[in-house]
Chains A and B, each alone.
Chain A
Amino acid sequence: MTVMATSFGERLVNMFIDHHDLLLYGVRNTLILAIFGTIFGLLLALVLVVFRLGGFQVSSGWFRHLQKRVLKIATALYIGFFRGTPMMVQAMILYYGLQTAGVRIPVLMAGLVVVSLNTAAYLTEILKAGILSLDAGQSEAALSLGLTPGQTYRRVVFPQALRNMLPAIGNELVVNIKDTAVLSVIGVSELFFMGRRVGSASYRFTEAFVLVSILYLVLVNAAVFLLMRLTRHRKSSLPVSDSGVLV
């Protein structure tokens, strides 16, 4: 088989056939990083946003006050750092930091930690805006019934804020599918990293990265499609909890 005899399209197909195991392994890891990174990031954001907003004032007292202030400032610094530096740099710091400290964890795990921490910083700000856009009367009504601040967040504030935030969370997932490519710098075998391996194995970098971009497009559009289905569903039939479904 001579090189010139095959078209670019054929070479792409052949490359996928020859290296699909490597490429699909990359797809798998990219999906793990994006999906779990978004989920863990969201869970962390739910905690951080309470610190960020300072919680509800329940009882007073100077210790409470100090505790709240410290947490608020620490959270602001955290968000500032993760939104103000490239994820690539954050990955390097974590990777070499762990190495220096003598901690050995799988590199995929390290990558997941970076994505989660990074996502949490963005989602905290989005969640904060979502909570502030809710009528303060919602949480006041909950508190006036004797719910604790924690119960008020879990039962009343978060369910409503998250509903409004669903598109923003979806957007974060899509961003994560693409941006996890930078984790290749610490050797995470996600899609971009595997594309480079296929490229160097075959000496055809253009074909390899065109193939990689096609796979990214499939992932991103599948995610967008699923999210659109989910949000449309939400508008029509899902919204209200009846007789204790959420309780």
Chain B
Amino acid sequence: MTLALINLTKDFGEGPILQDVSVVFNPGEITCIIGPSGSGKSTLLRMLNRLEAPTRGHIMVDGEPLKETDKALQRHRARTGMVFQAFHLFNHLSVLDNCMLAPITVLKLNKTDAMQRAMGALEEVDMAGYAHRRPITLSGGQKQRVAIARALSMTPQVLLFDEPTSALDPEMVQEVLQAMRRVVAKKITMILVTHEMTFAAEIADRILFMDEGQIIEDRPGRALLDDPEHPRTRQFLKSWRGKT
């Protein structure tokens, strides 16, 4: 699936958060997005699965504008998984049921197939042994791995990650990154907002730098980190390296 935004502007009422953004995400491509806080990274990601509605401009799926009907949006979201910074696991459901809910209600799988799929996804993130646990009994890293499994159990074509390790204690970051490496190996299109520069350099086919609602720099591979062209990118990376 090719996802694109065309001349997209988002305004919550206090000035544009995304300003006339145009960008294409190709199938199988792994894109990392970096940028300062408030630059619109989350808003852009949420636009891609249409959790936010554009103020102006278009969301394009395989060259066609995404239709504004409930059916079309639900179908699009079912194919576009999302992993949130704060996990958002369903607290009233077990780990397994978290991963079975959408396959059953959205894809209409029967229980056996849904369970097989959910267990498969949990195995990929090394959480199969926790299938019957309640989310609140898990550590942050474990919760995030379950959240990844929940998204994977829908066999999405695109996976959106919004700072998946930012809410974690440092010792739990690696286990989540490890789970994400497995997703990378599956050749699913990935769009990842992150502050993990080393990880971005490792996995990215392409890195974008965003500032003030615009994509300032868009470079293949790790070029943006090694050799930033735009002064604002350089400024951001310098202050970032200064901090760590």
Which A residues have a C-beta under 8 Å from some C-beta of B?
A: 57-61, 135, 137-138, 140-148, 151, 155-156, 159-160, 163, 239-247
Contacts and interface: CB of A to CB of B under 8 A. Distances in A.
Q: Enumerate the 6 nearest inter-chain pairs by beta-carbon distance, A residue then B residue, closest first.
A: A146-B78, A137-B88, A145-B102, A141-B88, A242-B94, A144-B82
B91 A160 contact: yes
A66 to B, nearest CB: 16
A86 B75 CA distance: 48
Interface string B26-54: 00000000000000000000000101010
Given A138-B88, A243-B96, A246-B97, A145 B73 contact: no
B90 A146 contact: no
Contacts of B73: 58-59
A240 B150 contact: no
Interface in B66-125: 68-70, 72-75, 77-82, 84, 86, 88-94, 96-97, 100-102, 104-106, 111, 114-115
Contacts of B97: 240-247
B230 to A, nearest CB: 32
B68 A61 contact: yes
B200 interface: no
Given A135-B88, A239-B134, A241-B92, A143 B101 contact: no
Given A135-B88, A144-B81, A160-B92, A240 B134 contact: yes
Contacts of B8: none
Nearest to B54: A60
B94 A243 contact: yes
Contacts of A138: 88, 90-91
B18 to A, nearest CB: 17
Given A147-B102, A242-B94, A137 B77 contact: no
Given A59-B68, A135-B88, A247-B101, A146 B96 contact: no
A147 B98 CA distance: 13
Given A59-B68, A243-B115, A244-B100, A141 B90 contact: yes
B154 interface: yes
A141 B84 contact: yes
Contacts of A247: 97, 100-101, 104-105, 111
Nearest to B49: A144
A163 to B, nearest CB: 7
A57 B51 CA distance: 9
A244 B89 CA distance: 16
15 contacts: A57-B53, A58-B74, A59-B69, A59-B72, A135-B88, A140-B88, A143-B51, A145-B81, A146-B78, A147-B74, A156-B90, A160-B92, A244-B104, A244-B115, A247-B111
B102 to A, nearest CB: 4
**Residue with the highest number of chain A CB atoms closer than 10 Å, among B70, B80, B102:** B102
**Residue with the highest number of chain A CB atoms closer than 10 Å, among B73, B86, B115, B151:** B73
Contacts of B187: none
Contacts of B88: 135, 137-138, 140-141
A240 B131 CA distance: 12
Contacts of B182: none
A159 B84 CA distance: 22
Given A58-B73, A142-B101, A145-B150, 11 more contacts: A60-B53, A137-B88, A138-B90, A141-B89, A142-B90, A144-B77, A144-B80, A145-B154, A146-B75, A243-B100, A247-B101
